[in-house]
Amino acid sequence: MHSILEEDMANRCSPSSTFFIPESAKVLDSVQLAELERTFRIWATESARWDVRASRERILLIFLLIRHSGAKLNEVLELRFRDIDLEKRVVILAGEDKEKGRTVEIPDDLAEELRTALSQGAHAPDEALFRIDPAHVRRKFYEQAEACGLPRDFGNPSTLRRSRSVELLRGNLPLPVVRRLLGHPTPDLTAAHLEVSEEDVHHAARQDVDRESRRRTSARNIFFGKIIEINKGDIQSEVVLQTLGDLRITSVITNSSLKRMRLKIGTFATAEIKAPWVLIAGSADAAENSAENRLPGMVVAVNTGNVNVEV
Protein backbone atom coordinates (compact mmCIF):
# COMPACT_ATOMS: atom_id res chain seq x y z
CA MET A 1 0.00 0.00 0.00
CA HIS A 2 1.33 3.40 -1.00
CA SER A 3 2.42 5.96 1.53
CA ILE A 4 0.24 9.05 1.99
CA LEU A 5 2.51 10.77 4.49
CA GLU A 6 3.05 14.43 3.69
CA GLU A 7 6.28 15.05 1.79
CA ASP A 8 6.81 18.07 3.99
CA MET A 9 5.42 17.31 7.46
CA ALA A 10 6.15 20.88 8.51
CA ASN A 11 3.67 22.17 5.93
CA ARG A 12 0.55 21.95 8.08
CA CYS A 13 -1.46 25.07 7.25
CA SER A 14 -4.63 24.26 5.26
CA PRO A 15 -7.30 26.51 3.72
CA SER A 16 -9.84 24.15 5.32
CA SER A 17 -8.49 24.81 8.81
CA THR A 18 -8.68 27.81 11.10
CA PHE A 19 -5.41 27.15 12.88
CA PHE A 20 -1.84 26.08 12.35
CA ILE A 21 -0.45 22.79 13.65
CA PRO A 22 3.07 23.15 15.07
CA GLU A 23 5.85 21.08 13.53
CA SER A 24 6.29 19.07 16.72
CA ALA A 25 2.68 17.82 16.76
CA LYS A 26 2.05 14.30 15.47
CA VAL A 27 -1.29 14.55 13.68
CA LEU A 28 -2.90 12.57 10.85
CA ASP A 29 -5.27 14.37 8.52
CA SER A 30 -8.66 12.99 7.42
CA VAL A 31 -7.33 11.37 4.24
CA GLN A 32 -4.49 9.68 6.13
CA LEU A 33 -6.95 8.42 8.73
CA ALA A 34 -9.17 7.03 5.96
CA GLU A 35 -6.19 5.29 4.36
CA LEU A 36 -5.16 3.83 7.72
CA GLU A 37 -8.71 2.55 8.20
CA ARG A 38 -8.60 0.83 4.79
CA THR A 39 -5.32 -0.82 5.79
CA PHE A 40 -6.90 -2.07 9.01
CA ARG A 41 -9.91 -3.45 7.15
CA ILE A 42 -7.78 -5.34 4.63
CA TRP A 43 -5.68 -6.80 7.45
CA ALA A 44 -8.77 -7.81 9.43
CA THR A 45 -10.21 -9.94 6.62
CA GLU A 46 -7.18 -11.37 4.83
CA SER A 47 -6.60 -14.39 7.13
CA ALA A 48 -8.05 -17.77 6.07
CA ARG A 49 -8.66 -18.77 9.71
CA TRP A 50 -11.98 -17.65 11.20
CA ASP A 51 -10.56 -17.32 14.74
CA VAL A 52 -7.76 -15.04 13.51
CA ARG A 53 -10.27 -12.94 11.58
CA ALA A 54 -12.47 -12.66 14.68
CA SER A 55 -9.50 -11.50 16.77
CA ARG A 56 -8.45 -8.96 14.14
CA GLU A 57 -11.99 -7.61 13.77
CA ARG A 58 -12.00 -6.82 17.51
CA ILE A 59 -8.77 -4.84 17.04
CA LEU A 60 -10.42 -3.08 14.09
CA LEU A 61 -13.41 -2.11 16.23
CA ILE A 62 -11.06 -0.71 18.89
CA PHE A 63 -9.31 1.35 16.21
CA LEU A 64 -12.63 2.65 14.83
CA LEU A 65 -13.88 3.62 18.28
CA ILE A 66 -10.70 5.59 19.03
CA ARG A 67 -10.58 7.10 15.55
CA HIS A 68 -14.21 8.33 15.61
CA SER A 69 -14.72 9.10 19.31
CA GLY A 70 -11.28 10.39 20.30
CA ALA A 71 -11.34 8.01 23.26
CA LYS A 72 -8.32 6.85 25.20
CA LEU A 73 -7.26 3.24 24.68
CA ASN A 74 -8.11 2.27 28.25
CA GLU A 75 -11.55 3.86 27.90
CA VAL A 76 -12.34 1.62 24.93
CA LEU A 77 -10.93 -1.48 26.60
CA GLU A 78 -13.12 -0.77 29.64
CA LEU A 79 -16.32 -0.49 27.57
CA ARG A 80 -19.18 -2.63 28.85
CA PHE A 81 -22.19 -3.84 26.90
CA ARG A 82 -24.47 -1.31 28.58
CA ASP A 83 -22.09 1.55 27.67
CA ILE A 84 -23.14 1.31 24.00
CA ASP A 85 -26.53 2.63 22.86
CA LEU A 86 -26.92 1.62 19.23
CA GLU A 87 -30.34 3.25 18.86
CA LYS A 88 -29.00 6.66 19.85
CA ARG A 89 -25.61 5.84 18.24
CA VAL A 90 -23.58 6.87 21.28
CA VAL A 91 -21.00 5.31 23.59
CA ILE A 92 -20.37 6.21 27.22
CA LEU A 93 -16.66 6.58 27.89
CA ALA A 94 -15.19 6.64 31.36
CA GLY A 95 -12.35 4.13 31.62
CA GLU A 96 -11.91 3.00 35.21
CA ASP A 97 -13.54 6.14 36.62
CA LYS A 98 -17.24 5.39 36.07
CA GLU A 99 -18.30 8.56 37.90
CA LYS A 100 -16.86 10.79 35.16
CA GLY A 101 -18.39 9.14 32.11
CA ARG A 102 -19.13 11.21 29.01
CA THR A 103 -21.43 10.44 26.09
CA VAL A 104 -19.90 10.59 22.60
CA GLU A 105 -21.71 10.21 19.27
CA ILE A 106 -20.45 7.66 16.74
CA PRO A 107 -21.13 7.42 12.97
CA ASP A 108 -24.04 5.35 11.68
CA ASP A 109 -21.80 2.86 9.88
CA LEU A 110 -19.74 2.22 13.03
CA ALA A 111 -22.96 1.71 15.00
CA GLU A 112 -24.01 -0.92 12.45
CA GLU A 113 -20.64 -2.67 12.68
CA LEU A 114 -20.97 -2.78 16.45
CA ARG A 115 -24.53 -4.08 16.12
CA THR A 116 -23.32 -6.92 13.90
CA ALA A 117 -20.45 -7.78 16.24
CA LEU A 118 -22.61 -7.70 19.38
CA SER A 119 -25.38 -9.80 17.79
CA GLN A 120 -23.06 -12.81 17.57
CA GLY A 121 -23.58 -13.73 21.23
CA ALA A 122 -25.43 -12.95 24.44
CA HIS A 123 -23.86 -10.24 26.64
CA ALA A 124 -24.48 -9.30 30.26
CA PRO A 125 -24.90 -5.54 30.88
CA ASP A 126 -21.65 -5.31 32.86
CA GLU A 127 -19.67 -7.55 30.54
CA ALA A 128 -16.43 -6.04 29.23
CA LEU A 129 -16.47 -6.17 25.44
CA PHE A 130 -12.74 -5.97 24.79
CA ARG A 131 -10.66 -8.14 27.11
CA ILE A 132 -7.39 -7.58 25.28
CA ASP A 133 -3.88 -6.78 26.52
CA PRO A 134 -3.24 -3.05 25.82
CA ALA A 135 0.35 -3.84 24.76
CA HIS A 136 -0.96 -6.27 22.13
CA VAL A 137 -3.37 -3.62 20.80
CA ARG A 138 -0.63 -0.99 20.58
CA ARG A 139 1.65 -3.43 18.77
CA LYS A 140 -1.01 -4.11 16.13
CA PHE A 141 -1.67 -0.39 15.74
CA TYR A 142 2.03 0.23 15.11
CA GLU A 143 2.17 -2.61 12.56
CA GLN A 144 -0.77 -1.25 10.56
CA ALA A 145 0.68 2.27 10.57
CA GLU A 146 3.85 0.87 9.01
CA ALA A 147 1.80 -1.17 6.52
CA CYS A 148 0.08 2.07 5.51
CA GLY A 149 3.43 3.74 4.86
CA LEU A 150 3.33 5.90 7.99
CA PRO A 151 5.99 6.15 10.71
CA ARG A 152 5.41 3.50 13.37
CA ASP A 153 4.58 5.95 16.16
CA PHE A 154 1.79 7.51 14.10
CA GLY A 155 -0.23 4.41 14.97
CA ASN A 156 -0.10 5.31 18.65
CA PRO A 157 -3.64 5.55 20.11
CA SER A 158 -2.78 8.98 21.54
CA THR A 159 -1.89 10.17 18.02
CA LEU A 160 -5.28 8.97 16.75
CA ARG A 161 -6.97 10.76 19.66
CA ARG A 162 -5.07 13.97 18.92
CA SER A 163 -5.85 13.66 15.20
CA ARG A 164 -9.56 13.32 15.97
CA SER A 165 -9.50 16.51 18.03
CA VAL A 166 -7.86 18.41 15.16
CA GLU A 167 -10.37 16.92 12.71
CA LEU A 168 -13.28 18.11 14.85
CA LEU A 169 -11.79 21.58 15.21
CA ARG A 170 -11.23 21.75 11.45
CA GLY A 171 -14.90 20.91 11.12
CA ASN A 172 -15.61 24.15 13.01
CA LEU A 173 -16.77 22.36 16.17
CA PRO A 174 -16.32 24.84 19.05
CA LEU A 175 -13.30 24.26 21.29
CA PRO A 176 -15.43 23.76 24.47
CA VAL A 177 -17.43 21.04 22.67
CA VAL A 178 -14.28 19.25 21.50
CA ARG A 179 -12.89 19.51 25.03
CA ARG A 180 -15.99 17.83 26.48
CA LEU A 181 -16.01 15.09 23.84
CA LEU A 182 -12.37 14.21 24.51
CA GLY A 183 -12.72 14.47 28.28
CA HIS A 184 -10.07 17.14 28.71
CA PRO A 185 -10.36 18.88 32.12
CA THR A 186 -9.28 22.24 30.66
CA PRO A 187 -9.39 23.88 27.20
CA ASP A 188 -5.61 24.26 27.38
CA LEU A 189 -5.12 20.50 26.87
CA THR A 190 -7.30 20.54 23.76
CA ALA A 191 -5.57 23.57 22.26
CA ALA A 192 -2.06 22.72 23.42
CA HIS A 193 -0.97 21.58 19.94
CA LEU A 194 -2.66 24.46 18.08
CA GLU A 195 -1.53 27.97 17.26
CA VAL A 196 -3.62 30.72 15.66
CA SER A 197 -2.07 33.40 13.47
CA GLU A 198 -3.56 36.72 12.34
CA GLU A 199 -3.83 35.31 8.82
CA ASP A 200 -5.77 32.31 10.15
CA VAL A 201 -8.25 34.64 11.87
CA HIS A 202 -8.98 36.51 8.62
CA HIS A 203 -9.12 33.27 6.67
CA ALA A 204 -11.64 31.80 9.14
CA ALA A 205 -13.89 34.83 8.63
CA ARG A 206 -13.57 34.49 4.84
CA GLN A 207 -14.45 30.80 5.12
CA ASP A 208 -17.67 31.61 6.91
CA VAL A 209 -18.68 34.13 4.24
CA ASP A 210 -17.82 31.70 1.44
CA ARG A 211 -19.74 28.90 3.18
CA GLU A 212 -22.87 31.06 3.23
CA SER A 213 -22.42 31.68 -0.49
CA ARG A 214 -22.05 27.97 -1.23
CA ARG A 215 -25.32 27.23 0.55
CA ARG A 216 -27.13 29.23 -2.12
CA THR A 217 -25.85 27.00 -4.92
CA SER A 218 -27.80 24.02 -6.28
CA ALA A 219 -24.86 21.61 -6.32
CA ARG A 220 -25.82 18.14 -5.07
CA ASN A 221 -22.77 16.02 -5.90
CA ILE A 222 -20.08 17.06 -3.42
CA PHE A 223 -16.66 15.43 -3.00
CA PHE A 224 -14.39 16.36 -0.09
CA GLY A 225 -10.73 15.38 -0.01
CA LYS A 226 -7.08 16.32 -0.21
CA ILE A 227 -5.31 17.78 -3.24
CA ILE A 228 -2.65 15.30 -4.37
CA GLU A 229 -1.63 16.78 -7.73
CA ILE A 230 -1.61 20.16 -9.49
CA ASN A 231 -0.61 20.52 -13.15
CA LYS A 232 -0.24 24.22 -13.87
CA GLY A 233 -0.62 25.61 -17.38
CA ASP A 234 -0.32 29.11 -18.82
CA ILE A 235 -3.93 30.08 -18.05
CA GLN A 236 -5.54 27.11 -16.31
CA SER A 237 -4.49 24.41 -13.87
CA GLU A 238 -5.56 20.81 -13.48
CA VAL A 239 -6.25 19.94 -9.82
CA VAL A 240 -6.55 16.30 -8.69
CA LEU A 241 -8.45 15.59 -5.46
CA GLN A 242 -8.23 12.33 -3.48
CA THR A 243 -11.49 11.77 -1.58
CA LEU A 244 -12.02 9.91 1.69
CA GLY A 245 -13.45 7.05 -0.39
CA ASP A 246 -10.19 6.87 -2.38
CA LEU A 247 -11.71 8.39 -5.55
CA ARG A 248 -9.67 10.73 -7.77
CA ILE A 249 -11.61 13.80 -8.87
CA THR A 250 -10.01 16.05 -11.49
CA SER A 251 -10.99 19.68 -11.98
CA VAL A 252 -9.70 22.43 -14.26
CA ILE A 253 -9.68 25.96 -12.82
CA THR A 254 -8.04 29.22 -13.77
CA ASN A 255 -4.65 30.07 -12.32
CA SER A 256 -6.16 33.16 -10.72
CA SER A 257 -8.70 30.96 -8.90
CA LEU A 258 -5.89 28.64 -7.83
CA LYS A 259 -4.08 31.60 -6.28
CA ARG A 260 -7.20 33.18 -4.77
CA MET A 261 -8.24 29.95 -3.01
CA ARG A 262 -4.63 29.29 -1.95
CA LEU A 263 -4.79 25.72 -3.20
CA LYS A 264 -1.70 23.56 -3.08
CA ILE A 265 -0.77 19.89 -2.76
CA GLY A 266 -1.72 18.56 0.65
CA THR A 267 -4.52 21.03 1.37
CA PHE A 268 -8.21 20.16 1.63
CA ALA A 269 -10.93 21.22 -0.79
CA THR A 270 -14.44 20.33 -1.91
CA ALA A 271 -15.33 19.55 -5.53
CA GLU A 272 -18.94 20.24 -6.49
CA ILE A 273 -20.43 18.85 -9.71
CA LYS A 274 -23.81 20.17 -10.81
CA ALA A 275 -26.23 17.37 -11.67
CA PRO A 276 -26.97 18.55 -15.29
CA TRP A 277 -23.25 18.26 -16.07
CA VAL A 278 -23.08 14.55 -15.17
CA LEU A 279 -23.03 12.17 -18.15
CA ILE A 280 -24.38 8.65 -17.63
CA ALA A 281 -23.08 5.75 -19.72
CA GLY A 282 -23.85 2.06 -19.59
CA SER A 283 -21.08 -0.38 -18.69
CA ALA A 284 -20.58 -1.27 -22.35
CA ASP A 285 -20.05 2.38 -23.32
CA ALA A 286 -17.97 3.44 -20.31
CA ALA A 287 -14.62 2.56 -21.89
CA GLU A 288 -15.36 4.80 -24.89
CA ASN A 289 -16.14 7.81 -22.72
CA SER A 290 -13.36 10.43 -22.76
CA ALA A 291 -14.42 12.15 -19.53
CA GLU A 292 -11.64 12.51 -16.94
CA ASN A 293 -13.90 11.76 -13.95
CA ARG A 294 -15.44 8.33 -14.51
CA LEU A 295 -17.08 6.92 -11.38
CA PRO A 296 -18.57 3.40 -11.54
CA GLY A 297 -21.83 2.95 -9.67
CA MET A 298 -25.31 1.45 -9.59
CA VAL A 299 -28.58 3.24 -10.36
CA VAL A 300 -30.61 3.29 -7.13
CA ALA A 301 -33.45 5.66 -8.10
CA VAL A 302 -35.04 7.12 -11.25
CA ASN A 303 -37.53 9.99 -10.98
CA THR A 304 -39.35 10.65 -14.26
CA GLY A 305 -40.90 14.03 -15.06
CA ASN A 306 -42.72 15.43 -18.08
CA VAL A 307 -39.52 16.88 -19.51
CA ASN A 308 -36.57 15.75 -17.38
CA VAL A 309 -35.50 12.55 -15.66
CA GLU A 310 -33.48 12.53 -12.42
CA VAL A 311 -31.14 9.54 -11.97
Q: Decide if pLDDT at 209 tops 80.
A: no
Quote the number of domains for the chain.
Answer: 2
In this predicted model, which residue has the larger pLDDT, 125 or 142?
142
Q: What is the pLDDT of residues 89-100, one digit of tens each?
A: 889 887 555 566
Q: For the residues 271-291, what does the mean pLDDT come to?
A: 77
CB burial class (10 A; 0-12, 13-18, 19+) of residue 222? exposed
CB 70 within 8 A of CB 33: no
Q: 257-289: string of b/e by CB count within 10 Å (b at 16+)?
A: ebeeeebeebbbbebebeeeeeeeeeeeeeeee
Position 142 scores a pLDDT of 96
Range of the domain at 262: 220-274
Give the highest mean pLDDT range of 2-6, 204-208, 245-249: 245-249
pLDDT of residue 192: 58
How high does pLDDT run on average in the chain?
80
Q: Is the pLDDT of residue 7 over 50?
A: no
Q: Look at 25-29, 39-43, 82-86, 264-268 and tell me which has the smallest mean pLDDT.
A: 25-29
- Residue 22 is predicted with a pLDDT of 58
CATH of the domain at 166: 1.10.443.10
Residue 198, in any domain of the structure: no
pLDDT at 1: 28
- Of 191, 208, 233, the position where a domain reaches its end is 191
Same domain, 169 and 113: yes
- Enumerate the β-bridge partners of residue 223: 271
| 230, 121: one domain | no
Rounded to 5°, angle at Cα 152 from 148 and 157: 95
Same domain? 171 vs 224: no
What confidence score (pLDDT) does residue 126 get?
81
Across the range 101-127, mean pLDDT stands at 84
Digit-coded pLDDT (tens) for 211-262: 555 544 545 788 888 999 999 999 999 999 998 888 899 999 999 888 888 8
Distance CA 250, CA 47 (A): 36
Give the pLDDT score at 27.
84
For position 263, which CATH number holds?
Answer: 2.40.50.100
Under the banding of pLDDT at 50, 70 and 90, the label for residue 159 is very high
pLDDT reported for residue 35: 93
Residue 10 lies in a domain: no
Residues 6+ apart with CB under 8 A from 243: 223, 224, 225, 249
* Same domain (yes/no): 61, 178: yes
Q: What is the pLDDT averaged over residues 33-37? A: 93
Residue 95 domain-assigned?
Answer: yes
Whether residue 233 is found in the same domain as residue 184: no
The CB-based long-range contact list for 89-92 (8 Å cut-off, 24+ gap) reads 91/65
